[in-house]
């Protein structure tokens, strides 16, 4: 294989990793530490992500302190109980049975922040949100690299960003983008759990592609 040229085989491999990636929660993590070298590869994947104006506006806080994690789970429970009420009665029952975080169970917890640049960023002037999108690119790289290393990752968004910031002593301008839980798992489901449970269906990508205009 030439260094900058890939064959179909590589694309197939990438698609296989993408297809096998799952969001993983606390009911799947197993008690097996993630070695430093594995975690480094996952962070290296974040480093390779594209970012607006090459601003690389991401910062990561690795959270090991169990007291902090406990406080975050309490916050999750509060937010989740409120969030559940927005759904129909049927869905509320389904929601209650779902495990939607893995903060205590996952060996690795990482809070991901967007740290806006104080200087102008090439490409960001008319779309300020591209800074946040860049952080999401880094997260997706991590998710895929984790999966390629057989490490599961879950994205927890059912949290109050201000509470997480306070717990982690985050500076004022740091914005929480994601709270990630990582670890080895007993199983990677073959399809999204929410699809399996008929909460949502997968849309065909064809139905999302328009010609010329809306
Ligand atoms: C921005 C974002 C936030 C999410 N927040 C949560 C969450 O708080 N709790 C949870 O269980 N899953 C969360 N998920 C996972 C989604 O539910 C999951 O990606 C989706 O159901 C598809 O499943 P899959 O990732 O296994 O393919 C989040 C995913 C994204 C991209």
- What are the tens digits of pLDDT across the range 6-18? 999 999 999 999 9
Q: Provide the pLDDT for residue 29.
A: 98
Judge whether 6 lies within some domain.
Answer: no
Mean pLDDT of 31-41: 98
Residue range of the domain that includes 27 = 22-208
Q: Provide the pLDDT for residue 6.
A: 96
Ligand 1 atom 31, closest CA: 155
Ligand 1 atom 19, closest CA: 23
CATH code of residue 142: 3.40.109.10
Judge whether 8 lies within some domain.
Answer: no
Alpha carbon distance 115, 55 (integer Å)? 10
Which residues have C-beta within 8 Å of that of residue 83, sequence separation ≥ 6?
A: 158
166 φ/ψ angles, rounded to the nearest 5 degrees: -65, -45
Whether 113 contacts 177, CB under 8 Å: yes
Q: What is the total count of domains within the chain?
A: 1
Q: Provide the pLDDT for residue 2.
A: 62
Judge whether 148 lies within some domain.
Answer: yes
Alpha carbon distance 93, 197 (integer Å)? 12
pLDDT band of residue 1 (cuts 50, 70, 90) is low
pLDDT digits (tens, 9 = 90+) for 181-212: 999 999 999 999 999 999 999 999 999 999 99
Q: Which helix (H) or strand (E) holds 11?
A: helix 8-20
Ligand 1 atom 15, closest CA: 23
Whether 161 contacts 79, CB under 8 Å: no
Judge whether 15 lies within some domain.
Answer: no
Pocket test for ligand 1, best of 95, 114, 155 (most atoms within 8 A of CB): 155
Judge whether 213 lies within some domain.
Answer: no
Compute the mean pLDDT over every residue in the chain, rounded to the nearest whole number: 97
Judge whether 92 lies within some domain.
Answer: yes
Tell me the CA–centroid distance for residue 190 and ligand 1, in Å.
15
Alpha carbon distance 81, 134 (integer Å)? 31
């Amino acid at each position: 294989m030439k260094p900058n040229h890939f064959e179909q085989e590589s694309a197939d491999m990438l698609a296989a990793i993408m297809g096998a990636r799952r969001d993983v929660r606390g009911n799947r993590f197993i008690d097996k530490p993630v070695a430093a070298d594995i975690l480094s590869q996952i962070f290296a994947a974040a480093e390779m992500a594209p970012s607006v104006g090459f601003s690389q506006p991401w910062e990561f806080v690795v959270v090991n302190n169990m007291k902090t994690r406990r406080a975050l789970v309490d916050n999750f429970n509060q937010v989740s109980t409120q969030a559940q009420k927005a759904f129909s009665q049927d869905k509320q029952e389904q929601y209650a049975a779902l495990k939607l975080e893995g903060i205590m169970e996952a060996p690795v917890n990482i809070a991901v922040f967007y740290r806006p640049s104080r200087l102008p960023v090439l490409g960001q002037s008319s779309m300020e949100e591209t800074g946040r999108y860049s952080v999401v690119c880094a997260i997706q790289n991590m998710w895929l690299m984790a999966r390629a290393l057989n490490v599961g990752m879950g994205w927890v968004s059912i949290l109050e960003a201000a509470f997480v910031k306070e717990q982690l002593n985050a500076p004022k301008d740091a914005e929480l983008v994601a709270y990630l839980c990582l670890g080895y798992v007993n199983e990677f489901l073959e399809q999204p759990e929410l699809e399996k449970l008929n909460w949502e269906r997968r849309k065909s990508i064809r139905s999302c592609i328009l010609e010329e205009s809306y």
